[in-house]
Structures are given as C-alpha cells and as structure tokens.
Amino acid sequence: MMKKLFFTLITLLIANGLFAQTDNYKVVIDKFQTDYNAGKYEDIFNSFASVMKEALPLENTIQFLTALKSQVGNMESKEFFRHQMQTYATYKSKFEKAVLEVNISLDKENLINGLFFKPYDEPKETVPAFVHELSSYPEELAGIIFAKTRDLPEKTQLSIAIIRDGETAYYGIIRENDTIKTAENQNRIFEIGSISKVFTSAVLASLVEDGEIKLTGLINDFYPFPFKDNTEISFQSLANHTSGLPRLPQNLDLSNQIDPYKDYGKKEIDQYLEQWLKLENEPAKVSSYSNLGVGLLGYTLGLSQKTSFQQLLQKRIFDKYGMTNSYTTSRDLGDKLVRGMDENGDITGNWDFDVFFAAGGILSSAKDLSKFVYAQFNPGNKELALMRKPTFEINETMKMGLGWFIVKSGTGKDVHWHNGGTGGYSSSMAVNVEEQTGVIILSNVAGINGIIDALCFELLPR
C-alpha cells in the first residue's frame, strides 16, 4: 500500500535551471518540512506552480499528504543527496516510520513544479581496490574525496584548494579507467559559473569605495530611456538579489541549450527594460536569486564607466589581486582548459556570454581563486569588507552580502559562500574570514553541485 501511495502523487516535471540554485532548494524544502509537520497542507499547495496545482488540486494534495503522514509520520530530518541534471534535487529524508527519497524541482519563480516520494534505497557500499591511488594525500582527506567522487563519470577532474594557517594545499583528482588518481591541476582552467557573481560585486564595491557610484544609487541613471512602469532599480538590490527581478528575462530565447546566453546583448536587454520588465517581488522585501539581476548589474557597471564590464573586471580585480590565470573567454586557452562534461560524461561546449557575462562568465583556476580568498583576510581592504557585510536576512541561517551568501559554520562562525554551474562545470567556494580558512573546488562535470557543495563544506577547516 505504501509503495502505491508514493507513486500516485506526480511524476517529476523538468524545470529550466541553467545555474544550480541549491540555496533556493534549501529554503523550499525547509518550508515544506515545517508545513508538512504542522499539517499546513494548504500552505504547501500554495507553494506549487500552476502546473502542479492543475495536476494535483488542493483536495487531492490534502488527501495525499494526510495519507502520507498516517503511514510514515512527521519528517524528522533530511540530507541533500544529489542534484539531477540541474533539474531536480533529491533528499534522503528520515520520517518517524520510514526513510524516503524526496525529489523536488522548482520553476524559475522557485515554485514547486515537481514532487515525488519513494522509499530510499541505500547505495550499496563497495571498497574498490583503486582507493590507494590517492595514498599520497592525507588518509582522511583521501577517503572524503574518494567517497564523493567515485561515482562520477570517466575523465572527471576536481581541482581543490584548502587554505589554512597562511598556507594553501592543492589536491587534484582525475578519474581514468575507473580509477581515481591524483592530478596536478591547480593551474588548469575551469568555468566557475555563478561564482562570477562574487567578482561582479567586487567590481561594484571597488567603484563604490572610489566614489564612482553610490551603492544605493539607481541604475536607471545610466540608460537613455525610462524603464517600463518607471520601475527603479538600485545597484545594491541587484547584488543581493532583492531587486524583485525574475531569474531570467522573458525575452531570452532558451532554445539553444548548448550556449543559452550567447546572443542576448544590448538590443535584447534594452528591449527588456523598456517593454518587458516586470517585478516578481516587492523590492527589498524578498531575496530571490536572479541571473538577470547580476547580469544587468555588471552590464550597467560597464556603462557607468564607459567601458565593458570585462575590462573593469580585468583592471579592478584580476590585475589588482594578481589573478594572471583568470579569463573572460574560453577562446585561445588551448590545453590549459579542462574540457567540460555533462553528468553522463559526454563532452560539452563552453558557454559564451554578452550582457549576461557578469552572472557566470569567468574562467579561472584553483590557484588564482585562492589569491582572491587571501585578499579577504586583509583587514585594510575596505571594498572586500563592504562585500561581506550583511545586507539582507533570508532566514535564520542565511544572509546576503554583496554577491556572497553568508551561512553559519558548525562552530557558529560566518562563512561566505557561493557556488556555480554551467553546461559542463560545477564549482563551490567558501571562506571563513574570522578563522582565515577557505576551500575552493572546481570540477568539469555539470549538475553535481550537491556533491561539490557538500565536499566544500566538509573540507572547510574547523
């Protein structure tokens, strides 16, 4: 009877998610757990996208969740398990009477458009003979890395930097012939995806500290036309995702999944601001992740200085912090570039950007990114301190700075974090300024942010 119940809900609907958003999933699954345990089934229904509401009307939702609770009880805990093809997240969830796999997908408005329960099957543990290939790494570290990467595709690479006590240790791995081996790849180049948003805010903070613009100033001043409905948008609201803008603009053509942002340029963003702009949330009231917002932020910063954002980034960040191995295009990188793959191990092309570059266009190496992490530890760097300052509280455990997500470590310290995902790469970066520690992980596999994020926080020195 239980098995039948699980499969009567709804099969998963595929969401259009081009940048991994594990933070948004966490907020939604946390609220689902709270509402489910409190019996607030109507609130759960109200968190559904319209397609879910049509497929599972309120009466059916209440009936299903009531029956579910009668069989398995309250949800006691949950653990992120994996992120499938950048479309849905899977949680190993402990209920009072059973352990279930809860799969959830979100639309671009962070509404639930797919929900699926089934009994959780514990992966069969095997101890492959090739674990000793990481024997040159500290035993505990090798075990952690191996456990997280052994099921990834052939040719997977991870480039890891761990910063502690003023020193950086680099750990690279590559999977070849079903063997996890060490690799010297701290200088190899990966797409870093949405970690680029941190650097976009670094450019913003630099211009603010130099008095070129005001953090609370309006981007409207740099456009020769009024925005639709005379909407006003501040620089800060774009950096901390409180502008109310949607995740992606309505006039973005997503039919080219291989290179989705390549052809979205000046013409398209001007058209959007004049004719399409529509806020989804009241500004400054909600932080809702927006690739559009950060892309618009970087583009406007370029307009404000009468140059391109890429040139600003090079001058104000890469040159300043000695990041000589960081790039704004994948062209001409040759063998320095690690080729990206999808979750099945098939080679993918690199993404090209125009207006959206600031949201996810940077390519870099673990060694270069570590230079930026070390800069965070300089108490005299006012622009980086400005970025780390909380500007919005999302919930009890997460705040927003400028570009950074601010979460609490196991020791109660603030950790500044961001991850990234493109069509062929996943990445994560975490910094504890108070304890002067940090972790950077770059991978050449798309859609594995759950694995990379979990590994990042597990490796963060305590």
- pLDDT per position as a tens digit, 394-429: 888 899 999 999 998 777 889 999 999 999 999 999
For the cut 50, the answer to whether the pLDDT of residue 187 exceeds it is yes
The alpha carbon dihedral of 150, 151, 153, 156 has a sign of negative
Beta bridge partners of 114: 105
- pLDDT per position as a tens digit, 33-78: 999 999 999 999 999 988 788 778 898 899 889 989 988 999 999 9
For the cut 70, the answer to whether the pLDDT of residue 170 exceeds it is yes
Q: State phi, psi for 167 to the nearest 5 degrees.
A: -130, 155
Reading the block at residue 55, the tokens are 């497929």
**Every domain of the chain and the residues it spans:** 2-119, 190-459
- pLDDT per position as a tens digit, 225-248: 999 999 999 999 999 999 999 999
> What is the spatial distance between Cα 220 and Cα 214, in angstroms, rounded to a whole number?
13
Number of Cα atoms under 13 Å in the Cβ half of residue 109: 14
Percent of the chain at pLDDT > 90 equals 72
Reading the block at residue 313, the tokens are 């980034």
Residue type, 77: S
- pLDDT per position as a tens digit, 272-297: 999 999 999 999 999 999 999 999 99
Q: What pLDDT, on the 0 to 100 scale, is given for residue 7? A: 35
Which helix (H) or strand (E) covers residue 182, if one does? Answer: strand 179-182
Q: State phi, psi for 439 to the nearest 5 degrees.
A: -140, 135
CATH architecture of 190-459: 3-Layer(aba) Sandwich (3.40)
Q: What is the pTM of this model?
A: 0.75
Residue 349: pLDDT band (50, 70, 90) is very high
Q: What pLDDT, on the 0 to 100 scale, is given for residue 124? A: 54
Q: Which CATH class is domain 2-119?
A: alpha beta
Question: By the 8 A CB rule, do 446 and 340 touch?
Answer: yes
- pLDDT per position as a tens digit, 19-29: 334 567 888 99
Residue 122: pLDDT band (50, 70, 90) is confident
- pLDDT per position as a tens digit, 198-221: 999 999 999 999 999 999 999 999
Burial class (CB in 10 A: 0-12, 13-18, 19+), 43: middle
